[in-house]
A and B are shown apart, each in its own frame.
Chain A
Amino acid sequence: MNDRKPILEVRDLAVSFATDEGVVQAVDSVSFDLHEGEVLAVVGESGSGKSVTAMTLLGLTRTSNVRFSGTAHYRGTELIRATDEQLRSIRGKEIAMIFQDAMAALNPVQRVGKQIVEQIQAHEQISDADARDRAVELLERVGIPRARERVDNYPHEFSGGMRQRVMIALALSCDPHVLIADEPTTALDVTIQAQILERFRELRAQTQAALILVTHDLGVVADIADRVAVMYAGRIVEYGSLDDVFYDPRHPYTWGLLGSITRMDRPRPKRLPTIAGVPPSLSNRPEGCHLRPRCPHEFAACTEIPELEVRGPAGPGVVEHTDRCWLTYERKQALREITPGEIGLGAKELV
């Protein structure tokens, strides 16, 4: 799997926005590979730069106050510096995006069928009738009942889960090679979430499309991802295969994330552990490791930025397991277990 050439190669991607409050460094030195048919989960808190990373790949963050550096190669095209016309032909056809809130992301005054047809016709010479038939097929494929009638409905006439399916049908309409799903289940209730994830799993089996799943929901990640990139304050702080990151987490921030989920197989804690403090302001990030002000394990070395590199033994995963933490692997093993068998960040006395 590793020797295949990745379909998407992101190297040292950085995105910053000039604002009235100063320069906001939303994304910083982000690198990752994506292979065909693979699911990469990008996790982190709100404001960790995961959505900006995803949208930058499609040029959706190109505004007058933005600055980019780094590269993102997709099948011979460098996306960060691509012309608008090059990007236009990739958007929707090669790389398609599924947005979080389908109610807001679909045009409220256009029939859903028309919105799908519009995308197909933006990339292919195809008659209205044929494009419409394909829209019906797509809606059927994502599990919308009576698709032939519903193709003429407006977004507000669908339930939340059905709307998200419409969004997925839209993204699939040109058989893209890469799907980027930005918090696709966040706006849905849990039962609908499960249905949508089931849909993603089926799609994985049916198509060879690679999926970048942006989420803060580790339950979703555990369900579907092959690899995980944990982001904090614009940087990837830990990267590896799902099993490596979940069973051998090497960055304190990952410990904190894992420690803050409720688990059905453990006794219920009095209070769910949280990570003390708030994420740093992206216009004024702490020197060195960005987690330092919130990390109970910080020590002298943390004033210097650790590189994202292998810092422990190789795990069962097929990709290298890398992280950005100066602690030795042995210290990490000792520190991350708050009580035997239970991972967490531990408490930090905030001054």
Chain B
Amino acid sequence: MGRFIIRRVIGMIAVLFAISVLVFAIFNVIPNSDPALRLAGRNQTPEQIAAIRAQWGFDQPLYVQYAKTMEKVFSGSLVSYSTQTNVQQEIINGIPATFSLAVGAALLWMTVAVVVGLFTAVRAGQFSDRFLTVLALIGISMPVFWIGALMAYYLGFKWHIFPNGGYVPFTKSPVQWFYHLVLPWTALSLLFIGVYSRLLRSNVLDTINDDYVRTARAKGLSERNVLIRHVLRNSLIPIITLWGLDFAAVIGGGAILTETVFDLQGVGQYAAESVAQLDIPPVLAIVMFGAFFVVFMNTVVDIVYAALDPRIRLS
């Protein structure tokens, strides 16, 4: 297991390097125009552009430009030239909201999907299975900006059942934190619940006919233990992988729409606002950190996967 982890971590470092080169190329090299001009944003002055060009090394070879860009991104000295704010600080300010949204939603969608998936698999073909299948398809089909906006409008703005957007830090008031996040969690989870419960249902239906499930019954285990210890455990393995990746994607910017609709002031909303302002430095940093987080979670998922399925470690 130790060697397996080391191998995966070395692989991760290689991928991270490749990603950093790619991001650098996309932002600074491929658009065939002066990168200093684009970085400066809307309210630019010739002096500012000249200063940016010198600072980022745009008059020097590409590898110097790459090194300087990475230095800026990772040293925390990146600034948005439009708003004159430190990008790292803004991202750090947004992380608690984004993290709260992602963790809560991930737990919510996984829990509900396991219950719904197992239930529909056990009742396969019956009315309750078909009914929940239709619901799941509706959940998959509804875009989050639409269902989110509906929820925010009716449940928040019009009927005042829930707060009308915004984020309250957990440290300030756990109750308000929870209260403010209920709608965003739900809106973000609907799609995933639909997808995950369908996936789990088909995995369970495949697994339930496996020979070792028959063995488990022949051993005299109760039907509940057969379902949970043998069927569910084995059906969940591929879904855990997906879960890790989706969670990473949500943190890395996948919740842009949800954050914006509910005004959560997280990293995703910061990204959306920066894009709207054509403010390149924050977008550069968020893309880089998002990609890094996805790669990191991918490695974590690989390691967890190997722990869950011992057959993986051999190959």
Q: Which residues of A are interface residues toward B (Cβ below 8 A)?
A: 55, 58, 60, 84, 88-93, 96-97, 99, 101, 104-110, 118-119, 122-123, 154, 156, 170
Cβ B237 vs Cβ A107 within 8 A: no
Q: Is B223 part of the binding interface, using a Cβ–Cβ cutoff of 8 Å?
A: yes
Which stretch in B40-48, B226-234, B292-300 binds the other chain? Answer: B226-234
Q: Is the interface of B mostly helix, strand, loop or mixed?
A: helix
From B211, B220, B308, contact of A104 by CB (8 A): B211
Which of chain A's residues have a CB closer than 8 A to the CB of B223?
84
Whether A109 contacts B216 by the Cβ 8 Å rule is no
On whether A118 and B221 interact (CB within 8 A), knowing A108-B311, A156-B310, the answer reads: yes
Neighbouring A residues of B211 by C-beta, 8 Å: 99, 101, 104-105
Q: Is B212 an interface residue (CB 8 A)?
A: yes
Within 8 A of A (CB), among B180-238: 210-212, 214-223, 225, 229-230, 233-234, 237
Contact A109 B309 (CB under 8 A): yes
Find chain B residues with CB under 8 A from A90 CB: 220
Within 8 A of A (CB), among B227-263: 229-230, 233-234, 237
Question: 9 other contacts beyond A91-B217, A101-B211, A104-B211, with CB at 8 A cut-off?
Answer: A58-B217, A84-B223, A90-B220, A92-B218, A104-B210, A109-B309, A118-B219, A122-B220, A154-B311
A109 and B310 within 8 A (CB): yes
Cβ contact of A92, chosen from B220, B308, B311, B314, cutoff 8 A: B220
For residue A154, which residues in chain B have a CB less than 8 angstroms away from its CB?
310-311
B84-108 to A contact mask, C-beta < 8 Å, 1/0: 0000000000000000000000000
| CA gap between A105 and B217 in the complex, in Å | 11
When A60-B217, A91-B219, A122-B221 are in contact, do A104 and B212 touch as well, CB less than 8 Å? yes
Q: Report the nearest B residue to A180, measured CB to CB.
A: B218
Bound CA–CA A215/B65 (angstroms):
74
**Chain A nearest Cβ from B233, distance in angstroms:** 7
Closest to B223 in A: A84
| Most chain A CB atoms below 10 A, which of B220, B222, B230 | B220
- Chain A residues with CB below 8 A from B309, complex form: 108-109
A97-B218 contact given A106-B212, A107-B230, A156-B314, CB 8 Å threshold: yes
**8 nearest CB pairs, A to B:** A92-B220, A91-B220, A104-B211, A119-B219, A92-B219, A107-B212, A105-B211, A97-B218
- CB closest residue in chain A, given B229: A118
What are 14 pairs between A and B in contact, CB < 8 Å?
A60-B214, A88-B222, A91-B218, A92-B219, A101-B211, A104-B212, A105-B211, A108-B309, A109-B234, A109-B310, A154-B311, A156-B311, A170-B215, A170-B219
Query: Which of chain A's residues has its CB closest to B221's CB?
Result: A122
B230–A122 CB distance below 8 A: no
Contact A107 B219 (CB under 8 A): no
Chain A residues contacting B229 (CB-CB under 8 Å) are: 118
Count of B residues near A, CB < 8 Å? 24
Complex Cα spacing A90 to B218, Å: 9
A106 to chain B, nearest CB (A): 6
Chain A residues with CB under 8 A of B217: 58, 60, 91
**Bound-complex Cα distance A93 to B218 (A):** 10
Cα-based distance from A37 to B218 in the complex (angstroms):
21
- Residues of chain A within 8 A (CB-CB) of B237 are 109
In the complex, the answer to whether A88 meets B220 with C-beta atoms within 8 Å is yes
Q: What residues of chain A lie closer than 8 Å to B220, measured between beta carbons?
A: 88-93, 119, 122-123
Bound Cα distance A97, B218 (Å): 7
Chain B, residue nearest A106 (CB): B212
User: In the complex, A101 Cα to B220 Cα: how many Å?
Assistant: 19
Using CB atoms, name the residue of chain B closest to A121: B221
The distance in angstroms between the C-alpha atoms of A106 and B211, with both chains bound, is: 8
For B216, list chain A residues within 8 Å (CB): 107, 118
**Please, which residues of chain A bring their CB within 8 A of the CB of B225?**
122
Q: Judge whether B215 and A122 touch: CB under 8 Å.
A: no
> Chain A: which residue is nearest B310 at the CB level?
A154
> A60 — which chain B residues lie within 8 A by C-beta?
214, 217-218
Residues in chain B near residue A55, CB distance under 8 A: 214
Contact A107-B311, Cβ < 8 Å, known A88-B222, A93-B220, A118-B229:
no
Contacts of A58 in B (CB 8 A): 217-218
Q: 8 Å CB contacts to A: which residues of B270-313?
A: 308-311
A225 to B33, CA, bound (A): 87
Contact B234 A96 (CB under 8 A): no
The residue that A109 contacts in the complex, of B214, B218, B308, B314, with Cβ under 8 A, is B308
B219 touching A99 by the CB < 8 A rule? no
Closest-CB distance, B311 to chain A (whole angstroms): 5
Distance between B203 CB and nearest chain A CB, rounded to angstroms: 14
A93 proximity list for chain B (CB < 8 A)? 220
Chain A, residue nearest B233 (CB): A109
Contacting residues, chain B, for A122 (C-beta < 8 A)? 219-222, 225
Q: Which residues of the other chain, B, contact A88 by a CB distance below 8 angstroms?
A: 220-222
Instruction: Give chain B nearest CB distance to A333 CB in angstroms.
Output: 43
With A and B bound together, what is the CA distance between A3 and B59 in angstroms?
A: 105
Choose among B214, B218, B221, B314 the residue with the greatest number of A CB atoms under 10 Å from its CB.
Answer: B218
List residues of chain B with CB within 8 A of the CB of A107: 212, 215-216, 230, 234
A141 CB to closest chain B CB, in angstroms?
18
Most A CB contacts (10 A, CB to CB) among B219, B221, B229, B311 go to B219
Q: In the bound complex, what is the Cα–Cα distance between A105 and B314 (angstroms)?
A: 20
* Distance (whole angstroms) from the CB of B287 to the closest CB of chain A: 37
CA–CA, A108 and B308, complex, Å: 10
Q: How far is the CA of A108 from the CA of B309 in the complex (A)?
A: 8
CA separation between A251 and B223, bound complex, in Å? 42
A130 to chain B, nearest CB (A): 18
* Docked CA distance A88–B217 (Å): 8
What separation, in Å, do the CA atoms of A74 and B221 have in the docked complex?
20
Specify which of B210, B233, B310 lies most central, judged by the most chain A CB atoms within 10 Å of its CB. Answer: B310
